[in-house]
Amino acid sequence: MPKRSEFVEYLLEMLQPLGEIRAKSMFGGWGLYADELFFAIVAEETLYFKVDGTNCPEFEERGLKPFRFEMRDKVATMRYYQPPAEALDNRELLCAWARKGVEAAARAKVRKKTLNAEAQRRREGKRKK
């Protein structure tokens, strides 16, 4: 496991008011988790929070940038956006933006559970026929 950067350590300290936050090494960067919710990415010393249809417009209206990476000769974009630059120096503001990522991750988990339950009901319905 690579050694965490000072930036990741700083973020973990700044995000303490949110509760148990941990960093997990992934693909040359870091994933940040609140409990078991994957809510942020740190790549090349840049922080990105999870977005969805509910909170993405707020990030885009402020001109915040999404996480992009090269993959097989093309650029892929993920649904993770940078917080405003001023949030990185303000714990209260950073935690407010991080909560948006945690909430998006929680909504995604609920959607996944619902979709899995619906798929299970369909499979069971097919077996009864």
CA 101 to CA 49: how far, in whole Å? 5
pLDDT at 128 over 90: no
- Specify the pLDDT at position 34: 96
CA 110 to CA 117: how far, in whole Å? 11
Q: Which residues of 96-121 are buried (b: 16+ CB within 10 A; e: fewer)?
A: ebbbbbbbbbeebeeeeeeeeeeeee
Q: Which residues contact 59 (CB under 8 A, 6 or more apart)?
A: 49, 51, 81, 82, 100
Could you tell me the fold of the domain covering 6-128? Yope Regulator; Chain: A, (3.30.1460)
Please check whether residue 40 is in contact with residue 49, taking contact to mean a CB–CB distance below 8 angstroms.
yes
pLDDT per residue as tens digits for the range 34-91: 999 999 999 999 999 999 999 999 999 999 999 999 888 899 899 999 999 999 999 9
pLDDT per residue as tens digits for the range 2-19: 577 899 999 999 999 999
pLDDT per residue as tens digits for the range 84-112: 999 999 999 999 999 999 999 999 999 87
* Bridge pairing between strands 29-34 and 74-81: unpaired
Gyration radius of the chain's alpha carbons: 17
SS3 labels along 37-53? EEEEEEECCEEEEECCC
Q: Where are the domains of the chain?
A: 6-128
